[in-house]
Amino acid sequence: MKPKIEVCIHCSATRENQRFSFQQCKDYHMNHPSRRYSDIGYNIYIERDGSVHLGRPFGATLAHARGHNKGFLAICYEGGIDAHGMPKDTRTDAQKQALIACRLFIERIYDVTRWTGHRNLSPDKNNDGVITPNEWLKQCPCFNVQSEFQ
C-alpha cells in the first residue's frame, strides 16, 4: 500500500524576463534574513528549461506553506509573474512537460489525495468550505492546479 500524500504546486514569483535558478532559490531560502531555512523549502524545483532539481528529501518536513509542511510534497516552478510584476501563468512547454513527468513519478510512489496550488491553502475566511479567489493570500502558482491535475 502506497503512503498517502498531498502535493502543492508553487511558483517562484519571478518575472518572465528574469531568471531565478534552483541554486538562487535555495540560497535565498537558506541565507535571506527573513528565511534562514536549513534547505530550500520545496522537494522539487523546475527551471524554465524544464530541468528538474531535487530539494528537500521526500518525507522531510517542508517549509512551503505555514500549517501545511507535514504530509505534503511541494513543487515549485521558476516564474509566475509577467514582465510588469503581475501574476501570470508563465510556464514554458518544457516546464509543463516536467510537471507531467513529476506527477507520473510521484503517483507511482504515493497515493496522492489532492493536487493543489499554494493559493488554495489560504484560510477559508467565510467558513463555507471553499477557498475562493477573494480569500487567496497569494496568486501562486498563477494557474488552476485542480482543473489541470484532475
Q: Please, which pLDDT band fits residue 135 given cuts at 50, 70 and 90?
A: confident
pLDDT greater than 80 at residue 69: no
Query: b/e for 91-116, b at 16 or more Cβ within 10 A?
Result: bbeebbebbeebbeebeeebebeebb
For residue 81, give its domain range: 4-148
CATH number at residue 27: 3.40.80.10
What is the pLDDT at residue 29?
86
Q: Are 14 and 78 in contact (CB under 8 A)?
A: yes
How far, in Å, CA of 18 to CA of 29, rounded?
Answer: 18
Choice between 139 and 123, residue whose per-residue pLDDT is larger: 139
What is the pLDDT at residue 51?
98
E-assigned strands of the chain?
4-11, 14-15, 44-46, 52-54, 72-77, 80-81, 111-117
Determine the average pLDDT of the residues in 78-92.
96
Domain count, the chain: 1
Tens digit of each residue's pLDDT (9 = 90 or more) over 2-18? 999 999 999 999 999 99
What pTM does this model have? 0.92
pLDDT greater than 80 at residue 66: no
What is the pLDDT at residue 67?
79
Tens digit of each residue's pLDDT (9 = 90 or more) over 92-127? 999 999 999 999 999 999 999 999 999 988 878 888
Tens digit of each residue's pLDDT (9 = 90 or more) over 15-63? 999 999 999 999 988 888 777 788 898 999 999 999 999 999 998 887 7
